Amino acid sequence: MGAGKTTIGKALARKTGLEFFDLDWYVENRYRMKIPQIFAEKGEAGFRELERNMLHEVTEFEDVVISCGGGTPCFFDNIDYMNSLAQTVYLKADPEVLRTHLLMAKSQRPLIQGKTPDELRDYIKETLAIREPFYQKAKHTIQIEVLERKELINQYVNQICQEIW
């Protein structure tokens, strides 16, 4: 969460001529509900089940770049499933970079809603400690800094292209 998956994913899709799908947006469109609504009605477990089903659906599409949520690789067999079908990229960012991105984000995220900046820092560190083993299974890892300039985004996209193609 907050690494820049959507920002870099869109730029990668533009550069490569592939279609871009954000898994969270896809879930919202298919279920006609925002992620916070789904969390409120179905809880995290219910959301993760929907997310898994939609992941399996979008991976059937051809010639796409998919940005999945930060938790997606960590549930069920999702990371192994993604690795079996595609080139996976872990956008690795230090906790302070993630916190900066999340504080800049305009949308509300159910897992961090209502947290103070200090609570957010602690949440990020705790969450990364749990999720890192799953993220490290990605085929490629790109170290990310604060995405404040378009040139930096393009640099990461070029790096991904060099590693994958």
Residues 124-163 have pLDDT tens digits of 999 999 999 999 999 999 999 999 899 999 999 999 999 9
Q: What is the pTM of this model?
A: 0.91
- The answer to whether position 101 is within a domain reads yes
**What is the arithmetic mean of pLDDT over 52-80?**
97
- The answer to whether position 159 is within a domain reads no
Considering its fold, how many domains does the chain have in total? 1
- The answer to whether position 84 is within a domain reads yes
- The answer to whether position 153 is within a domain reads no
Query: Residue 91's closest CA among 44, 128, 63?
Result: 128
The pLDDT, as a whole number, for residue 36 is: 87
The parent domain of residue 134 ranges over 5-147
- The answer to whether position 163 is within a domain reads no
Residue 65 has pLDDT above 60, yes or no: yes
Q: Cα 135–45–72 angle (5° rounding)?
A: 20
CATH code, domain carrying 80: 3.40.50.300
107 pLDDT band, cuts 50/70/90, is low
